[in-house]
Amino acid sequence: MVSELKQPPFLKAGDTVAILAPSGILKSREGEVQWAKNLLKDWGLFVKVGEHVFNKNDHFAGTDEERCEDFQKALDDPSVKAIWSARGGYGTVRILDKLDYTRFKENPKWIIGYSDITALHNQIHNLGFQSLHALMCVSLTKDLNEIQETVSTFKLALFGKPLNYVLEGSNYNREGIATAPLVGGNLTMLHTMLGSKTSINTAGKILFIEEIGEYKYHIDRMLQSLK
């Protein structure tokens, strides 16, 4: 396990971003993918969309082989500087063991997403690289003003600009200063991957978690398991 994470190059105008669907179905979400393409183009970026992005196989965006093929092509493509997951759901864990990161290690790029994409973040972190826990294509709305802060911070992160956050305090907070690599993601995913090859390594790191729609006792049980 590594304690320091290497940083892929930040994006600049003229770079290429691949939009992929390693998890759930996108069959009726063509509009959001188009908004994502338009957004990236407005930022001066080129876009490649995975060949099988709009395929359907049960709950997944294509078969495991199709989703893996799209992801592997983007990992190996030297022109692709970032891979943006279109949505979460379920399915990423089914392709993890099929991916070859040989060329990625030589030419690292940003892996972007949240929720089910936590599985990929864990895998990338265990290889020793940074990734970006951020919104996905289906997070977009037609009127970007509704999520302007989210979109703005996403762009700043992609292009390597400083980020500042002001968080509301809590009685549970412990005052202090900590500096360390930041790891984490979806709590359910972190919990279910415990003991696997892609189990999260939190030693000497700051942990963040995101979750939605879970009972409080489910959250407490999963947090106890992460101790």
How is the chain split into domains, by residue range?
A: 16-162
16-162 CATH fold: Rossmann fold (3.40.50)
Give the CB-side neighbour count of residue 146, counting CA atoms within 13 A: 5
Instruction: Assess contact for 11 and 81: CB atoms under 8 A.
Output: yes
Tokens 């390693």, residue? 22
pTM above 0.85, yes or no: yes
Hey, what are 59's tokens? 């709950």
For 64-96, b where at least 16 C-beta lie within 10 A, e where not — what string? eebbbbbbbebbebeebbbbbbbbbbebbbbbb
Q: Cite the beta strand spans of 52-123 per DSSP E.
A: 80-85, 110-113
Measure the CA angle with vertex 99, ends 98 and 100; round to 5°: 120
d(CA 150, CA 138): 13
Instruction: Assess contact for 72 and 20: CB atoms under 8 A.
Output: no
pLDDT tens for the chain, 227 residues long, are 445 899 999 999 999 999 999 999 988 889 999 999 999 999 999 999 999 999 999 999 999 999 999 999 999 999 999 999 999 999 999 999 999 999 999 999 999 999 999 999 999 999 999 999 999 999 998 788 889 999 999 999 999 999 888 888 899 888 889 899 999 999 999 999 999 999 988 888 999 999 999 999 999 999 999 88
